[in-house]
Each structure stands twice: as structure tokens, then as C-alpha cells.
Amino acid sequence: MSKVVLRSGQVLPADLVVVGVGVQPNVELFEDMSLDLEDGILVDSFLQTAVPDVYAAGDVACYIDRMYDTRRRFEHWDNAVTQGSLAARNMLGEHEPFVHIPYFFSDVFDLSYEYWGETSRADHYVVRGNLLSGSFSVWWLSGDRLVAAFVMDRPEEERQVAQDWIENGHSLSADQLSDDKLPLQAAEIVVTASD
């Protein structure tokens, strides 16, 4: 058995330690410019900075998330690719806001999982499958509206509906959603317009 020594000096036994770290945006290059800097480069919902015709995208862009009504940076290559494509289109004359569900995935050996959304506004969650088996999904809801989903080693159906249900404001039955014997589509009770 290994151990972990905390900053306080407390020693904890551990067989495995998982460390989650983020990144600090490297904005020193821009400190003497007219860009607004706060946890990255501040951009509007079109990814434009406070300087006309200057855009930012990727890990350094602190954008207005219209889906969750907050400002955020998101550190995943999917976000960087999606933002980069939109920023390029907007620089070429389009005027399209960045509306994208936060998403990440990882494949570690035979373990594969995906996550969509934002859990901060959820008031409860539902689990499908068995957490101990390694084949499960977690669905975070605010009232009956899906706001986030985590899917690991589950039927393809669960991956296919998660993003659509979050984006389109589907209302769900938590009891039916948690019943692994029911088809996932049975949990959908109403489709409401997104805010």
C-alpha cells in the first residue's frame, strides 16, 4: 500500500491517486494590449475581443456561454476546434454566436467515457446501470430538464440522445430514466423549447 502526504502533514493510505489539474491561460503576451483579460481573454458570444476585428478561441478564450448563462473557459480540444471554426467564419463576415454544449471524452486503455453539459444548476441526478460494474450513466436534472450527462460503457442509444436532450430542453421522468429495464426513450415525457 502507498500513501499520500497532504500539505497539512496528514498521511492517508492509498492504492490509487487520481489528480485532476486544469491549466492557467498564458496571457502574458497580451498584457500590454487593449484586450480584456480575466481568466483568459474575454470575448463576447461571437468570440470577438474588446478590440474590433480581433477574436480569440480555444483554451485561452473566456466566452459567454449562452446555454448556461455564464462566462467560462473550457479546456478540451473539441471546444478549441469548434470555437476556432466559428471564429474563422465570423472573421470572414458571418455573425454567428458560439452555442455549444461543453463536452469532453477520454479513452484510457479499455475505459471510455463521455460527458456533456454543466452540473452546477442541477438539483438531483439519476443513475442508469451499476456504478460498481463500470457500465453506467449519470443524468443531472434541474427539475425535469436535463442539464448534464456522463456515459461510460453503455448502449450507443445513451450517447446519441444526451447532447440532443440537453440542447433541446427535453423534460424527463427521473423514475423512468433510472429504470435500466425501460428503453431510454420511455423517459422522455415532454419537449419544451430551450430558453
The mean pLDDT of 75-81, rounded to a whole number, is: 88
Reported as a single tens digit per residue, the pLDDT across 143-165 is 989 999 999 988 888 888 888 89
38-47, 82-91, 185-194: least confidently modelled range? 185-194
| Gap between the Cα atoms of 23 and 62, Å rounded | 13
- Structural domains in the chain, CATH included, are 28-91 (3.50.50.60), 103-191 (3.30.390.30)
CB atoms within 10 A of CB 84: 16
| Gap between the Cα atoms of 96 and 45, Å rounded | 8
CB atoms within 10 A of CB 155: 14
| Gap between the Cα atoms of 27 and 36, Å rounded | 10
Residue given cell 502533514 in the structure block = 9
**CA 186 to chain CA mean position, Å:** 25
pTM for the predicted model, two decimal places: 0.74
- pLDDT reported for residue 93: 95
The mean pLDDT of 113-120, rounded to a whole number, is: 91
DSSP H helical ranges for 125-195: 156-167, 174-178
User: What does the block give as the cell for 168?
Assistant: 433541446
CB atoms within 10 A of CB 51: 14
* Long-range CB pairs of 55-63, under 8 A, 24+ apart, other chains included: 55/87, 55/90, 55/91, 56/87, 57/83, 57/84, 57/86, 57/87, 58/83, 58/84, 59/23, 59/25, 60/25, 60/26, 60/27, 62/25, 62/38, 63/98
**Is a pLDDT exceeding 80 seen at residue 195?**
no
pLDDT band of residue 194 (cuts 50, 70, 90) is: very low
pLDDT band of residue 89 (cuts 50, 70, 90) is: very high
Write down the mean pLDDT value for the chain. 86
DSSP H helical ranges for the chain: 77-91, 156-167, 174-178
